[in-house]
Chain A
């Protein structure tokens, strides 16, 4: 089944404790992206990657890192999480062609206390 898989689905952590949210897609998509969704603010792009070893900042990159060593994986790293990073996170992938649209992962609900 074609899908984007995110893990974990739920995570509660403490301020400053490094964490990684994994994202993997099995559709051979070139383009991958991370979003966070907050009430009233909608989906905001954190980072995106147009292909292996190519990553770029989105609208809200502060406090996050990403890597794209393989085409299928695009992990999101929070080196020192803070409470303002409490949010619902989605990974998404797409073929490079813009008309294709995104496939989203099921989301990761992160709480930083």
Chain B
């Protein structure tokens, strides 16, 4: 089993739609969780941290479910500019950082 798993997609959604991605992780001792956004051939950029209590930043909401070992990202009112690959990242003890392979989102006019 991979340490961090994501559905590669692509998720093709119309503008204005709500879309959700999940990411599962295998190490129950994982400590910190993040979502990154990566545009084609560019560097990943931090989108948001993920906390047990959940956190929201505008149209984006991230959740952590430690019992089931997954994190989620919800995007409301999708924009064309949201088209990108979304990477989940898990930090574990000893500074081990594992990236998921990413979920590709394509927002269609």
- Which residues from chain A sit less than 8 Å from chain B, CB to CB? 31, 33, 35, 40-45, 48, 50, 56, 88, 90, 98-99, 101-107, 109
Task: Tell which of B34, B43, B91, B102 touches A107, judged by Cβ atoms closer than 8 Å.
Answer: B43
Hey, which chain B residues are within 8 Å of A104, CB to CB? Answer: 43-45
26 contacts between A and B (CB under 8 A): A31-B95, A33-B97, A40-B101, A42-B87, A42-B99, A42-B100, A42-B102, A43-B87, A45-B97, A90-B43, A98-B31, A98-B32, A98-B95, A99-B32, A101-B34, A101-B46, A101-B49, A101-B89, A102-B46, A102-B89, A102-B97, A104-B45, A106-B43, A107-B42, A107-B43, A109-B41
Tell me the chain B residues, 26-65 only, with Cβ under 8 Å from chain A.
Answer: 31-32, 34, 36, 41-46, 49
Q: Check if B43 sits within 8 Å of A105, measured CB to CB.
A: yes
- CB pair A43–B95 under 8 Å, yes or no, is no
List of A residues within 8 angstroms of B43 by Cβ: 90, 104-107
B residues adjacent to A (C-beta < 8 A): 31-32, 34, 36, 41-46, 49, 87, 89, 91, 95, 97, 99-102
Give complex CA distance A31, B100 in Å: 20
Given A42-B101, A101-B46, A88:B32 Cβ within 8 A: no
Shortest A74–chain B CB gap in Å is 14
The smallest C-beta distance from A106 to any residue of chain B, in angstroms, reads: 5
12 extra A-B contacts, CB within 8 A, seeds A41-B101, A102-B44:
A31-B95, A42-B99, A42-B100, A42-B102, A45-B97, A98-B32, A98-B91, A101-B89, A106-B43, A107-B41, A107-B42, A107-B43
Residues of the A chain whose Cβ atoms lie less than 8 Å from the Cβ of B99: 35, 42-44
Residues of B within 8 A of A41 (CB): 101
Which residues of chain B are within 8 angstroms of A88 by Cβ–Cβ distance?
A: 41
